A and B are shown apart, each in its own frame.
Chain A
Amino acid sequence: METFMIILSGILFTIATYLILNKNFLRIVLGITLFSHATHMMLMAINGLKRGAAPLLGEHADAYTDPIPQALILTSIVISFALTALLLVLGYRTYIELGTDNMKKLRGESHE
């Protein structure tokens, strides 16, 4: 299962990289979102999927699942959600002000 998830997150990384290298702004945002999803999946899989009982519920299991990767993912999801929202707002304002969502036209110099 872990191997399968790692391969899946590898595929997601590939797609994300392709999207980020695009010129269109919305595709870059989608790429960044996929990039962070792939990271979270990898973070989950790399530290081992369900290896024992849920922690904190009783003390009699032989082994417990490590809760830390999930805590990390939760924190990271919240942060990437906030960043995506900010990025979309920023992109919308940029589109309104500069009239383009093509990153190549946002290179500078010509606007100054």
Chain B
Amino acid sequence: MKIKFLLAAFLVASALSLGLMANASSSKDAAKDSAAPTVSAQQSALNESMHVEGEKRFHSNCGRCHAAPPKFPPRMMTTIVRHMRVRATITDQDMRLILRYMTE
């Protein structure tokens, strides 16, 4: 009985770990691809789209509770966004886009 439980726990842990590792490696590959040098026009378009997306996420997340704050220096903004990530349970992706938008 004891061995069965340990085995089951180990198998579940292994399966989840493998899944997570596979996910991590695929996302790393994707990140590498996206980080590859591109022509400046593409980079500019990407920056513009991230700016628009960041602004959208800023208004939909932050504007739910309070008036839009001004932009603070980047290092202050990093602390504020970390605080708000915890308090308002903002997703990691939203937090990154908001931080990027607020520090541009």
Are A and B part of the same complex? Answer: no
Residue numbers of B with Cβ under 8 A of A are: none
The residues of A with any CB-CB pair to B shorter than 8 Å are none
